[in-house]
Structure 1
Amino acid sequence: MTLTATMRRFEIELADSDRGVYETLDLRVAQHPSETDRYLVARVIARCLEHDEGVDFTRGLAESDEPALWQRDLRGDLRAWIEVGSPSADRLHKASKTGARVAVYAWKNVPQLAREIAERGVHRADELALIALDGSYLDAIAATLDRVNRWSLSVSGGALYLTIGGKLLEGSVERVSIGSLERNDRAGRRARASGAGDPRAAFRDGGTRSGSAGRGEGVIHDPFRKLSPRNVGRRCRAAPRPASSRPPACAGTCRTSAASASSG
């Protein structure tokens, strides 16, 4: 027996002061047999927060090549690609290449998703809107679902105030920055490519040199190199200690030896 979609109706009084949107929405949403109540609620919340001319539900889970919602202009051109859940970075890269604005409403492993987007190098990642939803908040709303649902939703400062049947459910949405992660990753890749962070790199790229022409010139002081006895001698000849720092006993011995040699 083939399962069919469940049709649900949402009558919503929307007051979004963050965007200046005040509308009465009458939405009919088909819930796919494999679609969870949490996912359905997330789709409806995203539809409210994205409300604008041309924004509508797609065929959703019934068509894998389509997002949860999209926005098209009067000519049918794609203006926004809106995902719900945890789409792959490759899918978002492909969506961003269309030139449309890309938004994702997620509630599971959101920081990990942001990291994957930054590391994958998704096209125009810094313009992608990643919005974090609270999974427990979605579940609380899902517990009230019926065939006909009447909501009063207010949005202010990222906070959600949803009234259903006289009961107030409070939640929030948070935008996760991807641009800063992407910039940090680029800086890290450049640093690794140039050897930054490796203390030996400073000496490989031009360590301090000592000595003058004709005596020890070109000897590199590399504290990380293990010195053989021959290298120790070169190091000492290349950078002799000042006379004032020599031990007095050494100086006396040298003078005695010189006197003996002259008398002989």
Structure 2
Amino acid sequence: MAIKATIHKAQLQIADMDRGIYGDHNVIIARHPSETDERMMIRLLAFALNVPGDDKRGNLEFAKDLWDVDEPALWHKDYTDAVLHWIDVGQPDDKRLMRAAGRAERVSVYSFSSSTPVWWKGIESKLTRAANLIVWQIEAAQSQALAKLAERGMQLQITIQDGTVWMSTGSESVEITPRRLTAGG
């Protein structure tokens, strides 16, 4: 019998001063049995960094990347089912990213492993045609600190200002500064 996903619920209070987006979001995350707390929290971070200010062009949703290779970690689809923004986490291969770049208006990757520089050096030259791709590196120490905030039920305050993110539970806080690795997007 297959192990089922673990359901996590998060109440996010987002204050994104860089984009002028403020709001409360209740999200449900189905955590695949093979997913770590660190990866799940990077998905939450990616949600906070990319949630649209309104739903006029659809919604940002958690997808089923660990269950279905044709889906990202998150995607923003419009009401016609066109993919506006494909968001992956981790270190996807160049073929996956080129397919995503052809399918979506924008593609973002949030890589959080200490091996990110090695991974990126190996595929960077293969992605020069993907002008709609942005790759972000989250320092491993920051993503590991973020993993410590993970719980089955979370209330998180997320403040984004000048490219820095503060994610807080009220009693604990983590500062994350994503570093852009690409010139595209």
- TM-score, normalized by length of structure 2? 0.88
User: Higher RCO, 1 or 2 (CA under 8 Å, sep at least 6)?
Assistant: 2
Q: Which protein is richer in helix relative to its size?
A: 1
Is the 2:105–2:132 contact (alpha carbons within 8 Å) kept by the matching residues of 1?
no
State the distance in 2 between where 1:99 and 1:35 align: 25
Is the 2:149–2:172 contact (alpha carbons within 8 Å) kept by the matching residues of 1?
no
The answer as to 2:158 corresponding to 1:116 is no
Larger Rg: 1
- Which residue is equivalent to 1:25? 25
Is the 2:5–2:31 contact (alpha carbons within 8 Å) kept by the matching residues of 1?
yes
Is the 1:118–1:178 contact (alpha carbons within 8 Å) kept by the matching residues of 2?
no
CA gap of 1:113–1:127, structure 2 versus 1, over 3 A, is: farther
**Offset at 1:162?**
1.5
Pick one of 168, 171, 179 that aligns with 2:176: 171
State the distance in 1 between where 2:167 and 2:86 align: 25
State the distance in 2 between where 1:163 and 1:99 align: 32
State the distance in 2 between where 1:115 and 1:141 align: 25
Partner of 2:103, secondary structure, is coil
- Which residue is equivalent to 1:156? 161
Q: Could you tell me the percent identity over the aligned residues?
A: 29
Q: Which protein is richer in strand relative to its size?
A: 2
The answer as to 2:70 corresponding to 1:65 is yes
Structure 1 residues without counterparts, runs of 5 or longer = 180-264
Deviations 1:114-146 (A, max 9, x none): 33343214532x431111112222222222322
**Offset at 1:30?**
0.5
Aligned pairs for 1:19-168 within 5 A: 19-52=19-52, 53=55, 54-108=59-113, 109-124=115-130, 126-168=131-173
Deviations 1:3-60 (A, max 9, x none): 1110000001100111111010100101001111111011110011010132111123
- TM-score, normalized by length of structure 1? 0.63
State the distance in 2 between where 1:111 and 1:19 align: 28
State the distance in 1 between where 2:144 and 2:104 align: 34
- Residue type of the alignment partner of 2:144: D
CA gap of 1:113–1:4, structure 2 versus 1, over 3 A, is: same
**Length, aligned pairs only:** 178
State the distance in 1 between where 2:157 and 2:176 align: 14
- Which residue is equivalent to 1:213? none
Structure 1 residue runs of 4+, over 4 Å off?
Answer: none
**Offset at 1:178?**
4.3
Partner of 1:61, secondary structure, is coil
State the distance in 1 between where 2:132 and 2:122 align: 15
Partner of 1:76, secondary structure, is coil
What CA RMSD, in Å, does the superposition of the two structures yield over aligned residues?
A: 1.7
The range that moved more, 55-64 or 42-51, is 55-64
State the distance in 1 between where 2:63 and 2:182 align: 27
